[in-house]
Structure 1
């Protein structure tokens, strides 16, 4: 055990290394999704952008094939949002975060007055396992049983009570369809598992996001009261202190590069997990840039320069070509601009943007 301090920059380099953002990894798609403990997937595009930034040789077809073959799936897990996980992680992470789903459901109890939640889950399970259903179909099916209940609350109760996955073609690259849902057990052909202790997930989180505090893990998972689990794991971990004296936990053999290790530019997805998975995000976000990558109901594509959030980007496609626009938050050196343009051109190619592709600097926000 150590109480050695770590600067925000050193923490950033450690996290970037584990996030596969210091150098692209030769990992296969499913292996990377497992290593990263899932990818934010509120919309169709983000998992593809996340892997394009992280993997060497990645193509969108790699992820679409994994979805169609049911090796990965889209399901509500971390922070009450849709994430893309491996089939095994769908089965274990979903019950782990069930307490957060129950907290969410309590917010809608007024609209569920008189509703038997156990019966609601049983009816919903039977209905969606007959064939995948749309949210509207599920809502109308439940309204037939409880006509006086709030329709939205009924839908949320089904989502919170059951491990519902979004079935394909939803999520496929350039072939996505509307949301249809069935249970993870049905879609993935797996048996339900008992609720696991958080210990293994904490270790995996540290492997992908560490070093990190208890609050960092809770921010990522959307869980509370996990300090006891960290204490159980303490003999297996090393500890550090950040610049504010907060205790950070880490795996003993995890990579912790020198803080001056070069960090190449990377174009990230909306709500990339790198930017959402710590209570203190100063390891990758300057204080002055907090909140600049989103507005109410709007998330922007972002890019990193020297390992820090440094601007926004967008890609406009048409039959005659594509334009990728970069909006830096501040002044970049000529070398940084050249490296960023090269990375943008590579990203556009991986995403199969119609050519010719023009990269320019301008305004993204409207």
Structure 2
């Protein structure tokens, strides 16, 4: 069975609730989309605003407070918001990657501790973090536990490796830039290759539910897992999956029965969050980002700017300014597209007003340095 590039785009939009806003609770929505990028505290909220009808940010506040959705270092070694019931298997799937990258990092090894030492230390740390602890508190505990201070870089590697959830700290989006940590409520099994292999099989199925059809390279990119591990995991569950041929002949995998709308299905405009998952979930990012625009959207330090989505593809970037949303299109847009973006801007300005009207303001330097654009418009907030 073949699938076109446009068909792949629409499959992603359908599974990510971006063809139309749906009436779902926060927890069900997070489960449906699998994982929300959460490096920037506002992004999961804006991601859900894009996907749900009548989304109330207080719902995500409550889910975070009740640990029904959790924020932790997971796929691609970055922060994600996931459903609490997915956390354990996702973390087990990521164990070899996190163990190698965090405990093998020179900042950690310079402490003189081995990976085995870290395993013991993590167990004690999780008992200490039965209540939320700040980084400074964890640093003080480590100094007492080890008899000498641990360098900040080594502490950071240990915190990112340990199965810790970010605890709510307040602020407009539940989390502030200075995090607090609490032990995961459902602790994963660490350093067991068989458990990690089973976790990766589960993660692959969940990934395909939310982002498929996809190639082995896409799966490896989504998780930042060695391609050999992904191939082995796909092979173990191959009988449960369908195979398709992508537009360039690449073998793609999918879960049976998942949505695959026609390539000409209408796709409404959206104002996407920074680091939105659809921009990062594939080795071939041309599924959503035209190749010519990738360097404008993903900056040299890894920042992924908030984007305009028009007809399912990135068409520019946006930022809040006095009076509304400033939208910069990378190519000429139709009057109908601008009208749709203007309606989204009015809704977004109202959504942001009570929490953070100038969201992402710290990233304004990218605009100060100049961005290419065919047209820039102020989309009023009223």
Aligned to 2:253: 249
Q: Distance in 2 between matches of 1:24 and 1:126?
A: 41
User: How much does 1:267 deviate?
Assistant: 0.9
User: How much does 1:154 deviate?
Assistant: 3.0
Q: Distance in 2 between matches of 1:126 and 1:355?
A: 35
More helix by share: 2
Q: Distance in 2 between matches of 1:329 and 1:177?
A: 31
Aligned to 2:140: 140
Farther off after superposition, 100-109 or 43-52: 100-109
Alignment TM-score, normalising by the size of structure 2: 0.84
Per-residue Cα deviation, 1:227-283 (whole angstroms, up to 9, x for no partner): 122123222222122222211011221111111111110111101000000000111
Q: Distance in 1 between matches of 2:355 and 2:204?
A: 41
Q: Distance in 2 between matches of 1:235 and 1:60?
A: 40
Aligned to 1:304: 309
Q: Distance in 1 between matches of 2:252 and 2:304?
A: 29
Aligned to 1:37: 34
Aligned to 1:327: 328
Aligned to 2:124: 123
Task: Tell me whether 1:80 sits opposite 2:81 in the alignment.
Answer: no
User: How much does 1:177 deviate?
Assistant: 7.4
Alignment TM-score, normalising by the size of structure 1: 0.87
Q: Distance in 1 between matches of 2:356 and 2:134?
A: 36
User: How much does 1:174 deviate?
Assistant: 6.9
Gapped regions of structure 1 (runs ≥ 5): 358-362
Q: Distance in 2 between matches of 1:171 and 1:91?
A: 27
Q: Distance in 2 between matches of 1:247 and 1:293?
A: 28
Q: Distance in 2 between matches of 1:355 and 1:227?
A: 43
Aligned to 1:346: 347
Aligned to 1:360: none
SS in 2 for 1:152: helix
Q: Distance in 2 between matches of 1:364 and 1:265?
A: 23
Equivalent pair of 1:139/1:155 in contact (CA under 8 Å): no
Per-residue Cα deviation, 1:316-365 (whole angstroms, up to 9, x for no partner): 46xxxx421111111111111111111211222233469999xxxxx971
User: How much does 1:158 deviate?
Assistant: 3.5
Task: Tell me whether 1:202 sits opposite 2:199 in the alignment.
Answer: no
User: How much does 1:175 deviate?
Assistant: 7.6
Q: Distance in 1 between matches of 2:291 and 2:343?
A: 27
Q: Distance in 2 between matches of 1:356 and 1:155?
A: 31
Query: Would the alpha carbon gap of residues 297 and 289 (structure 1) be closer, same or farther in structure 2, given more than 3 Å must change?
Result: closer
Query: Would the alpha carbon gap of residues 191 and 143 (structure 1) be closer, same or farther in structure 2, given more than 3 Å must change?
Result: closer
Q: Distance in 2 between matches of 1:175 and 1:78?
A: 19
Aligned to 2:378: none
Query: Would the alpha carbon gap of residues 236 and 299 (structure 1) be closer, same or farther in structure 2, given more than 3 Å must change?
Result: closer
User: How much does 1:114 deviate?
Assistant: 4.3
Query: Would the alpha carbon gap of residues 96 and 56 (structure 1) be closer, same or farther in structure 2, given more than 3 Å must change?
Result: same
5 Å-filtered alignment, 1:1-366, equals 2=1, 4=2, 6-105=3-102, 106-108=104-106, 109-114=108-113, 116-129=117-130, 131-144=131-144, 145=146, 147=148, 150-160=151-161, 162-170=162-170, 173=173, 176=176, 178-185=178-185, 190=186, 192=188, 195=196, 196-224=198-226, 225-295=229-299, 296=301, 298-316=303-321, 322-352=323-353, 365-366=367-368
SS in 2 for 1:27: coil
Equivalent pair of 1:22/1:263 in contact (CA under 8 Å): yes
Query: Would the alpha carbon gap of residues 175 and 112 (structure 1) be closer, same or farther in structure 2, given more than 3 Å must change?
Result: closer
Equivalent pair of 1:26/1:56 in contact (CA under 8 Å): yes
Query: Would the alpha carbon gap of residues 111 and 77 (structure 1) be closer, same or farther in structure 2, given more than 3 Å must change?
Result: same
* Residues paired across the two proteins, number: 348
Query: Would the alpha carbon gap of residues 113 and 283 (structure 1) be closer, same or farther in structure 2, given more than 3 Å must change?
Result: same
SS in 1 for 2:237: helix
Query: Would the alpha carbon gap of residues 241 and 184 (structure 1) be closer, same or farther in structure 2, given more than 3 Å must change?
Result: same
Farther off after superposition, 210-219 or 86-95: 86-95
Q: Distance in 2 between matches of 1:199 and 1:28?
A: 27
